[in-house]
Structure 1
Amino acid sequence: MTATTPPLTVPGDKSIAHRALLLAALARGASRLRNLPAGLDVRSTQRVLRALGVAMREDGGALVVTGSGGALVAPPEPLDCGNSGTTIRLLSGVLATRALVATLDGDASLRARPMRRIAQPLTGFGARFELSKYGTAPFVLHGNGEARGAQVEITVPSAQVKSAVLLAALGAHGPTRLTGALATRDHTERLFRAFGISCAADDGALLVEGPQVPRACDVDVPGDVSSAAFLLAAAAAVPGARAVVDGVGLNPTRTAFFEVLRRFGAEVDVLTTDASAEPRGRVDVRGAALRAIVIEPDEVPGLIDELPLVGVLGAFARGTTVVTGAAELRVKESDRIETFARAARALGAEVETFGDGFAVHGPARWRSGSVVTAGDHRIAMAFSVAARAAGISVVLDDPDCMAVSFPGFAHALERVA
């Protein structure tokens, strides 16, 4: 690797794209969405919205979504959410307060993910869920078109659960008040403002007076900071290496990984170039000899997508890197604690696991080998980073799974210098 590299770009932010699509679909008028990621997850959201009668067309590099004004059409077939947990959970919120019945389903990985955490708060609006006996998809959702506002306490620190309730509140009559574990990604609240939706913060709660119909608007989606993290980590792990990513989202609820890189010992410079509702800018990382860190439970919600990457960096660091309070990793696209540990051990790293996290004893004595990804895009990308930074050969059993969030990731990784 050399000491310099030209700026890199990453696909549009998945979290923002899903939410922008859903709000544009509910809006009155036509919204232009630019820089939508081409990954499979966002395509799943587009597919289910079309099945609900929402018209979309490509125009000059943007996707024009003609809003339904909230008048969605009952789908004749099950809504296939693919591998996307965000799609199935946020869509459940939208449909919970609409007068229709829909079956929501997905691939084998999605069928293994817990859905009671979504169903429980949404039943407060009078929606009814027929979950599988395991509390998973496929399930039938009976929306309540006469829903009243609800008092909802969020017990799981999950932006998906919070967002599902906020989206349900748009179709309910009267006030909805959310309390509890709200300190998670705030893309939904920010996009509410962009689409003209009133959502007030009051004494640690969120208040939405329904019903409200979004006002169509244009959204330019910033680069996905969680995707950028993999490229930045590849440089951080190699002294003298450098990666620069332009146009990346800098939402404060998503940038905790930059501080993690600094704690590991990397040099990180962040320049905000656009301070709009969803700020964006340039991130410049220079590699160094890394030292072990500890991730505390209260840090986990802001790092949930990057924790496998934290584990990989821990294998390059001197000392023991520990992550706790991360039991949520066990119900992602795979059991990310065990999938990470098995893959790391296969390549020579020393890893301990426990119920809510893992410990990595570094630095690893890396060796070439094969990695079982369990079809999990973040595991595949994390160990592609390990291969690049360690200079070893790694065979992924399912490299195509990276297309879920970052088509072309392997090529982008090769450009990290």
Structure 2
Amino acid sequence: MTVPGDKSISHRALLSCLVADHDVRLAGINPGGAVRALFEPLQQLGLDIVQADGERVVRRASAGEPMPRLYVGGSSAAARLLIGLLTGLGRTAVVDGDAILRRRPMDWLVDPLRELGARIEYLGAEGCLPLAVHGPVDRGGTVDLRVGSAQARAGVVLAVVAAGLPATVRYPVLSRDHTERMLASFGAGLAWNDRELVHRPAPVIVPHRIEVPGDPSLAAYPAAAHLLRRGAGPLRLTGIGLNPTRLGFFDVLREAGAGIRYEDRVLCHGEPVGTIVVDGGPQRLRPVAVDDPHTLHALIDEVPLLAAVAATVPGTSRIGCAGELSFKETDRLVTTAEMLRPFGAEVTADAATVTVTGGGPLRPAPTDSFGDHRIAMAAATLAAGLGGTSRVRGGTCHETSFPEFIEVLAKMGVDVTADAGATTLRGLRESDYPEVIGQLERWWDGRPVTAMLPRLFFRHFADTSVVAEQDGRVAGFLIGILSPSVPGEAHAHFIGVDPALRGAGLGRRLYEWYFALARQHGRRTVTAVTSVGNTDSQAFHRALGFEPVAAPGGGTVWADWDGPGHDRVRLERAL
């Protein structure tokens, strides 16, 4: 069995074409949305990307736009690596992403680039996208990275190599080193170890053809499904990248007793590539323990999947040192726990650790992806091992990194289908306003509620609000406000769901998305306000864990809360 090309290496292969002075053929790049997010920015920078004989051919077509606005959707890797390379090449641009990416930290990368002379301006919130690259890195030196993020380190390495600057980069832990391996194979003067990288300028020659190996993070899903389903005979996953900084999931399971081995190793552009063999039949696994940063970074994308496997193993498993997961597409510590609990798993999550007590009875169940491709695929993989029928809401987001995920499971005998009418969650956009306001009163049986939702909420609070889409239309939304004046509080101003979808859990999904966002921003409480007569709303919020706030003098009715004669019930939920 094979899996799509490595997403991380695909990003780096595409970006290397900006350095090349000739056409480059890319074989096996990942076809998912996270990699395609680079196509349009590269075209704006003057490259042409075409399909030919099953490969991508990238050629220089023009000088590119002088100050393009490069939009990379939700791909943090595309954003951070692009920023680094722009500063190395001396190219000016604005880099931006979707509402979720705009909340993810960029200062991990920007601060060391500024130390090397880059002129970078935040155009919105400090430390976040959008940002403008105005000037290049222009001096060598030593920089210290605050975090072990591979993307931050790769961005700095791309900058100094492209600029030809001598530099030393220090970091707290060595995470995936694809950038270093690829550039070194192209001739870059790089030497690195567990804590430090040194660059001495040397000519870099990009080859005419780059082969991308299979992604070990994607190979983890069929491997886990084979273990959970106790598949007959060995499963051979061929052509997989065997970079040691990416094999943490397999290595941890090997230590726990799983029959996993690596064969047929060869080198390709500095990367070890080979076959992962997973034995079939019943296997008695022991609980897993991840308690050091190096191991965590070697499986950082597979934490939800490892937790799902741990739920089937008797005893207590612990995945620690994982605070960085709060800054992924979702707070993956929280969403991993929320995804597993409907199956009956006993799981807790705190600021840096997921703890799973496994071995108890698990059952097929509906659960949520929270719009996160890793959560979706971990849920589906666990469901594949339980039998029965489970539904992963929003599960089609797997296309971000693994478009063939359903087909791969089907080859293993799993009956899995994508629901064409499924709802997916994404960040709110101001452009959603006409569609929402045009159907709002229909959703409320003709009641005049549009005055409660002026456009300003869509313009100024889009980054803290969420939309549910079904078949290309808005099916629900939640307007959220992170209070700037009440510390620790987040407020849900308005939630709406298409009446045809009420009772299907969509309102809960919208709120769970918002709870995760609020936790990520350090909020301890979510509040809401509803009218006294809207008992349905009060019951809905109680079911989500909200409690009425006692009014002065007793009771739950706050007289004149929204002005004379506008009494309200205030609700509060602790996070």
Whether the 8 Å CA contact 2:187–2:202 is kept in 1: the answer is: no
Change (3 A) 1:390 1:32: same
Q: What is residue 367 of structure 1 aligned with on the other side?
A: 363
Q: Output the CA distance in 1 between the equivalents of 2:194 and 2:148.
A: 18
Residue 126 (structure 1) aligns with: 117
Measured in 1, the distance between the counterparts of 2:391 and 2:200 equals: 52
Q: Look up the SS of the partner of 2:78 in the other structure.
A: helix
Superposed CA RMSD in Å reads 2.2
User: Taking CA–CA contacts closer than 8 Å with sequence separation of 6 or more, which of the two structures ends up with the larger relative contact order?
Assistant: 1
CA distance in 2, matches of 1:179, 1:323: 25
Classify the secondary structure of the residue corresponding to 1:130: strand
CA distance in 2, matches of 1:202, 1:307: 25
SS at match of 2:363: coil
Matches of 2:246 and 2:162 in 1, distance apart? Answer: 28
- Which whole-Å deviations, capped at 9, do the CAs of 1:20-58 have from their partners, x for residues lacking one? 111122112222110111111111122211111112222
Which residue of the partner structure matches residue 244 of structure 2? 252
8 Å contact 1:52–1:73 — kept in the other structure? yes
Could you give the per-residue CA deviations for residues 77-99 of structure 1, whole angstroms, max 9, x where no partner exists? 42111121110000010112343
Relative to structure 2, which stretch is displaced further, 366-375 or 185-194?
Answer: 366-375
Counterparts of 1:111 and 1:343 in 2: how far apart (Å)? 24
Q: Does 1:306 align with 2:312?
A: no
SS at match of 1:38: coil
Q: Is the 8 A contact 1:84 1:110 kept in 2?
A: yes
Equivalence map 1:18-417=2 (5 Å): 18-66=11-59, 73-74=64-65, 77-131=68-122, 132-144=124-136, 147-172=138-163, 174-181=165-172, 183-201=174-192, 205-210=196-201, 213-241=204-232, 242-276=234-268, 277-287=270-280, 288-298=283-293, 299-416=295-412
- Code of the residue aligned with 2:359 in structure 1: it is P
Task: Give the 3 Å change call, closer, same or farther, for CA 190–115 of structure 1 in structure 2.
Answer: same
Which residue in the other structure is 2:533 paired with?
Answer: none
- Does the 8 Å CA contact 1:197/1:212 hold for their aligned counterparts? yes
Whether the 8 Å contact between 2:253 and 2:288 is mirrored in structure 1 is no
Displacement after TM superposition at 1:202 (Å): 8.1
- Choose 1 or 2 for highest CA Rg: 2
Q: CA deviation at 1:369?
A: 2.4
User: How much does 1:247 deviate?
Assistant: 1.1
Q: Secondary structure at the match of 2:17?
A: helix
Please give the alpha-carbon distance, in whole angstroms, between the structure 2 residues aligned to 1:373 and 1:136. Answer: 25
Write the distance in 2 (CA, Å) between the matches of 1:98 and 1:273. 35
Letter in 2 for 1:294: A
**Secondary structure in 1 matching 2:344:** coil
The corresponding residue for 2:430 is none
Which residue in the other structure is 2:427 paired with?
A: none
Alignment deviations for residues 124-164 of structure 1 (CA, whole Å, 9 cap, x no partner): 122233332252222222232x7122321122111111110
Counterpart AA for 1:309: L
1:58 partner SS: strand
- The range that moved more, 193-202 or 231-240, is 193-202
Give the whole-Å Cα distance in 2 for the aligned partners of 1:181 and 1:41. 27
Q: What is the CA deviation profile of residues 233-267 of structure 1, one whole-angstrom value per residue up to 9, with x for unaligned ones?
A: 11122335553211111112212222212233221
Measured after TM superposition, the shift of residue 167 of structure 1 is: 0.6
* C-alpha distance in structure 2 between counterparts of 1:368 and 1:203, whole Å: 42
The whole-number CA distance in structure 1 between the counterparts of 2:84 and 2:203 is: 14
Hey, what's the Cα distance between the residues in 2 that align with 1:223 and 1:333? 23
Which whole-Å deviations, capped at 9, do the CAs of 1:212-246 have from their partners, x for residues lacking one? 55433321111011000011011122335553211
Q: Distance in 2 between matches of 1:280 and 1:56?
A: 26
What is the alpha-carbon distance in structure 2 between the residues aligned to residue 243 and residue 210 of structure 1? 44
Q: 1:97 to 1:247 in 2, by over 3 A?
A: closer
- Structure 1, unaligned runs of 5 or more: 1-7
CA change 1:273–1:100 in 2 (3 A) is closer
Q: CA 1:150/1:392 → structure 2, altered by over 3 Å: closer, same or farther?
A: farther
User: Do 1:171 and 1:210's aligned partners in 2 also have CA atoms closer than 8 Å?
Assistant: no
How many residues end up aligned between the 2 structures? 407
